[in-house]
Amino acid sequence: MNECRFPLSALTCYMQTLFDALRNALHLVLTLDADVFEYAGRSVLIATVSTLIAGLIGIPLGMLVAEHEFPGKRAVVTLLNTLLALPTVVVGLLVYTFLSRTGPLGTLQLLFTVPGIIIGEVLLVVPIVTAFTLSAVARTDRDVRKTALALGASPRQTLWTVLCESRFGVLAAVIAAFGRVVSEVGVATIVGGNIDHFTRTMTTAIVLNVDMGSFALALALGIVLLAISLSINVLFQYLQGGGQP
């Protein structure tokens, strides 16, 4: 942390640190710092791909559970809600054991690689996308389905209509999943190994800098990460608003 040159109060000192961090962050961005752009790019890539895969799995799964009545449905919903609070380090450890050389998927040699991290992140956020989609579709009026059928939609077209009518909730699921992955550190550290220029992400870089005592740099990276999250959320909100006439 930067040294306080004057006998300022603790609050002023803290503000000074934040200000330095903001200045550092701006400096890193404006000078196109190669490391920061690399970490940020990797974080966004992992988050985007993981969210996309989780969406492809979780959205249909959520719809399936919401649209059908079957024995044990309540237990499935409870399980999904429990998995929302899944600790990232637990997922990291689980994926680590699977991908390690002695694990069942050891031959794929995905440990300490970006695809390995993506596998872990997908496992982490599939329950989020599924549970949020389920809730959004279940909240969509049953009469929407009936109306689509009444107007001659086929069962597949009806499902698509229900999904479109639940789009705000489904998009919220995607935003939540993206946010969870981009800010996640447990899986990225355990499965990725935080290897510079290979698997290091924004969050693991922040942890590393805190460990090394470079608080200002860590804060600067944090501010850049926040800016990325904000930009992505603004983009999603724009997309959400675009659907509403």
Partner 1 sequence: MTHRYTLENVVRRYREARTGRSVEALRVRRLDVAAGEILAVVGPNGSGKSSLLETMAFLQRPDGGRILLDGRDVWAERKSLAARRRCPILLQKTVLFKTTVLRNVMYGLRMRGLGRAEARRRAEAVLRLVRLDRLAQRGNRELSGGERQRVALARLLVLGPEILLLDEPTANVDRANEQLIEQLIRQLHQRNGMTVILASHSFRQATTLADRIVTLVDGQLMPGTMDNLFTGTLCREAGVFAFRDESGLVLRFRPEAMAREDRNACPAPDTPVRIAVDTKHLLVVSDGNERMGVFSGRIESVRRHRDRCRLRVRLVEGHVLRVEMTLADYKQLGLNLGTTVRLRLADGAIHLVRTLNPDYSH
167 contacts: CB under 8 Å, gap ≥ 6: 240, 243
CA-based nearest residue to 1, from 223, 210, 222, 226: 210
Cβ atoms of 133 and 64 closer than 8 Å: no
Should residue 10 be labelled a site residue for partner 1 when binding is judged by CB under 8 A? no
Amino acid at 75: A
Which of 81/154 has CB closer to partner 1? 154
Helices within 31-72 (DSSP H only): 34-67
Number of residues in contact with partner 1 under rule CB under 8 A: 19
Cβ atoms of 130 and 176 closer than 8 Å: no
Should residue 154 be labelled a site residue for partner 1 when binding is judged by CB under 8 A? yes
Applying CB under 8 A, which of residues 46, 165, 179, 199 lies at the interface with partner 1? 165
Should residue 157 be labelled a site residue for partner 1 when binding is judged by CB under 8 A? yes
Applying CB under 8 A, which of residues 3, 107, 143, 211 lies at the interface with partner 1? 143
Applying CB under 8 A, which of residues 144, 207, 208, 228 lies at the interface with partner 1? 144
226 contacts: CB under 8 Å, gap ≥ 6: none
Should residue 171 be labelled a site residue for partner 1 when binding is judged by CB under 8 A? no
Site for partner 1 in 205-244 (CB under 8 A): 243-244
Residues found near partner 1 in the complex (CB under 8 A): 141, 143-144, 146-154, 157, 161, 164-165, 243-245
